[in-house]
Structure 1
């Protein structure tokens, strides 16, 4: 007996059953089949919800008909939670039509109570199937990760190329300006070099913003999104892929914001653009075209990415959206890109499809709905003052604070701090500012924590905060930004926008 218990397979069972006698019969049969069962028995929807939230289960067995509940409703609750747990209905009276309906709904098996000898083998089979499904999911995740890493490698090379050009110009112009000003005193040429360097920093800023769009987390907040801004970022990221294969034509219409998320839309656009490029052989750039078209169609926005490539045969037009199906050579693609794109668009309440003829190219289209209920921008009133504004700059990077002080001091009264505690002490002592530029990510006290303290100590000053960020890296910070009513600017700062915000601060 002891050896049998030691060799028994542990089984965590969630039992949906109102009859104590039937429950005991089920447990005896499972133990006879070689399972060491630990179980929880529930009879109601509320009890099932609590049990599902309390822990992990190996199998769920449910009676088909209970006084206040039924097996199919129980199965629906398990599905709603996204759990892939073997679900077996055991019933004393279940007709063939009911059994077929249950299996069509996704129930894994059903067993009659007067034939419980089938229960042990049914559980064993479904546990094996669940293990195989888990292994397939793991394999699919590994393939998706491999596909993403390959894409990241391609993008990293593209980004490095795009950054190196303006960065080389910045460094050479700055070196020329310093050397020229010191040795020859030719300030006119030095100023021209500085202007060119400044122009290149704008290009670097745009590239960094593009990277930030594509690096935001999957669970980002959906809302009103500037589609053209995201598309332009995707076009810049895909530039090296497109340039050598086709001429790019942007045919943009006047668009309102669409409902979606920047990172997910960016992933979709980038994938479609690279696919369009790969559909066109290299070597005849002037004879080929990739055209991006955007139009408003009623309460929707239609996006088209057209290529002059080989086209897609009719029998493959829907198959290309199936997971792991690909027309690319072995080792070039995983066949997951288009299936993922369609899923992402569907999650944004949109739709996606393709129109194509062999030899005449392809058009991938996306329909997105126009965003509703956009946030109302608070009214701001400008303030004119001969002495400018009182501005507090809080940033733990001394170089950033010094640069902002140098830039703003020509028109405003600027005070800088590197520690949030020092800035709070200054405000607590009675000093007040017209605007507070605050970094979000600081080591001792974050920008969000600083803002919370301001709301407690000097609420009128909290309204005057303008946040600056090089990237919101924590979910807590992202959640704070979604609820905070204060403006937030990405680094590198858009100086004209900064000056505009300063002149249009809250009354």
Structure 2
């Protein structure tokens, strides 16, 4: 009858001591497979090459010690039971190891404790893993709940400009048939462009909230994320309160994830709206304030004039499943998840509230490290005669781009990346290449990789465009490539300088 499987990483320089440990574990019923390492370099390789059920380390080795080994494991962010088994050492050393986070400390002459300690730590590791999975499920549940609430708002926000856009375009058709005066038709087209820009902004806001697993933390434009959150929550607020923003001008970028900050702000703004009764909009406000902390960092305050929260509940509201809302409203997870996310980004959140006088949530965020900002080079005047290649599998989009660029440049538009490569392989060269990122036959990154082999100077001239980098591979590519990328729908006034700068890359 086979024993319990145990994948062991053993940090031990003595073959005899290693044999004793393995014999003790096998005697206790474990079917042990193990790798033995003796140096920091061997440990690093072993941590990178496999996953381990448990790590057992000697305290004193010739080239490093058990605490250094434990620090190496912690640096990788691994939650693996770590036990130190050593010879005679002082009590102070054992206490220091436990304070550092080592799960247990045993003496080699008392190995009877080894098997029970291993069993205990494996159980506790499983509990922690189950808890993490549950937290991930809860975060997904809360996110789906928030997105469900937003669905009607988004439909409302898009339908209004879309209705105007469609009517104006219909009117423009009548203009072309000569049925309305030209000056009136020009105004109609201006309004149609404004409506399309509103729809573009709404889509950009949605994209902030469409990456629930995004954990990349970096310099983030705080006011941009707040504005997106406010627009997304607008339909929940507009019938209950006036929305006021009070942004400090000197607020720097903050360290964080755009998607996760958006989730936090959206949750707090909707909570503020739900704390205010409908029907008295002129008497209430939700105010969003940003400021730079004198001691460093950035403060965000979301204030409402709602019903308030009893002081006795100020800490409990951050507990999972606790809610002050009526039954059926919310999951009771929002504030718990907000605190967890803000803490992971190195920030903090606290609440100030009095019954009948409203609530203020204060968020403290870390200031991002200074980053070099590269501004787009803008040409003094439009350059005519540039030879531009457009690659987009969506034929109507490719035609529309060609139509707009042809006012300034010589343009070839293709709907297949392979056809573009064949054209370049035949000897044709371009001053600038505008390529879609996500295409079915060959993606933008794949096209760029082939182009680097075929004509490296042409690869430098590629500007990517995307309606959304939906895959992790695409997002990773954009994070590492020096080539610029523009968002669809395209802003032509921003695109022209990028194309005109391409020949100098």
Q: Where in structure 2 are the equivalents of 1:87-486 lying within 5 Å?
A: 87-178=82-173, 185-186=179-180, 188=182, 192-216=187-211, 218-219=213-214, 221-255=216-250, 257-260=252-255, 261-297=257-293, 300-314=297-311, 316-321=313-318, 326-328=323-325, 332-348=329-345, 350-365=347-362, 366-369=364-367, 371-377=369-375, 379-384=377-382, 389-486=386-483
* Alpha-carbon spacing, 1:187–1:37, altered in 2? closer, same or farther (3 Å): same
* Alpha-carbon spacing, 1:451–1:138, altered in 2? closer, same or farther (3 Å): closer
| Partner Cα distance (2:222, 2:401) in 1 | 31
For 2:473, what is the secondary structure of its paired residue? Answer: helix
CA contact (8 A) 2:221 2:254 kept: no
Q: Per-residue deviation at 1:31?
A: 2.4
| Partner Cα distance (2:424, 2:15) in 1 | 68
| Partner Cα distance (1:164, 1:398) in 2 | 25
TM-score, normalised with respect to structure 1: 0.86
| Partner Cα distance (1:292, 1:116) in 2 | 60
CA contact (8 A) 1:13 1:39 kept: yes
* Alpha-carbon spacing, 1:60–1:291, altered in 2? closer, same or farther (3 Å): same
For 1:238, what is the secondary structure of its paired residue? Answer: helix
For 2:411, what is the secondary structure of its paired residue? Answer: strand
CA contact (8 A) 1:470 1:490 kept: yes
* Alpha-carbon spacing, 1:129–1:460, altered in 2? closer, same or farther (3 Å): closer
CA contact (8 A) 1:241 1:277 kept: yes
CA contact (8 A) 2:432 2:500 kept: no
CA contact (8 A) 2:308 2:357 kept: yes
CA contact (8 A) 2:145 2:330 kept: no
CA contact (8 A) 2:376 2:498 kept: no
Q: Per-residue deviation at 1:214?
A: 2.0
| Partner Cα distance (2:479, 2:253) in 1 | 18
State which drifts further: 167-176 or 346-355: 346-355
| Partner Cα distance (1:223, 1:124) in 2 | 40
CA offsets per residue over residues 299-355 of structure 1, 9 Å max, x none?
644322211223344554455445555544565445543444345445555444444
CA contact (8 A) 1:394 1:416 kept: yes
The equivalent of 1:11 in structure 2 is 6
* Alpha-carbon spacing, 1:76–1:320, altered in 2? closer, same or farther (3 Å): farther
CA offsets per residue over residues 110-169 of structure 1, 9 Å max, x none?
333333222222222222222222222222222222111111212223212222222233
| Partner Cα distance (1:297, 1:126) in 2 | 43
* Alpha-carbon spacing, 1:249–1:473, altered in 2? closer, same or farther (3 Å): same
The equivalent of 1:35 in structure 2 is 30
| Partner Cα distance (1:330, 1:42) in 2 | 57
Q: Per-residue deviation at 1:238?
A: 0.8
In structure 2, list runs of 5 or more residues that go unmatched: none
CA offsets per residue over residues 431-472 of structure 1, 9 Å max, x none?
444433222222333333434444555555444433221112
For 1:303, what is the secondary structure of its paired residue? Answer: strand
Query: How many pairs are equivalent?
Result: 500
| Partner Cα distance (1:59, 1:224) in 2 | 37
* Alpha-carbon spacing, 1:23–1:249, altered in 2? closer, same or farther (3 Å): same
Q: Per-residue deviation at 1:291?
A: 0.6
| Partner Cα distance (1:18, 1:173) in 2 | 80
| Partner Cα distance (2:460, 2:34) in 1 | 55
| Partner Cα distance (2:461, 2:16) in 1 | 69
State which drifts further: 403-412 or 485-494: 403-412
CA contact (8 A) 2:251 2:290 kept: no
CA contact (8 A) 1:289 1:308 kept: yes
The answer to whether 1:80 aligns with 2:83 is no
State which drifts further: 112-121 or 188-197: 188-197
For 1:254, what is the secondary structure of its paired residue? Answer: coil
For 1:46, what is the secondary structure of its paired residue? Answer: helix
The equivalent of 2:490 in structure 1 is 493
Aligned counterpart for 2:44 among listed residues 35, 49, 62: 49
CA contact (8 A) 2:376 2:497 kept: no
The root-mean-square deviation of aligned C-alpha atoms, in Å, is 3.2
For 2:209, what is the secondary structure of its paired residue? Answer: helix
CA offsets per residue over residues 188-221 of structure 1, 9 Å max, x none?
4655544433322111111111111222464465
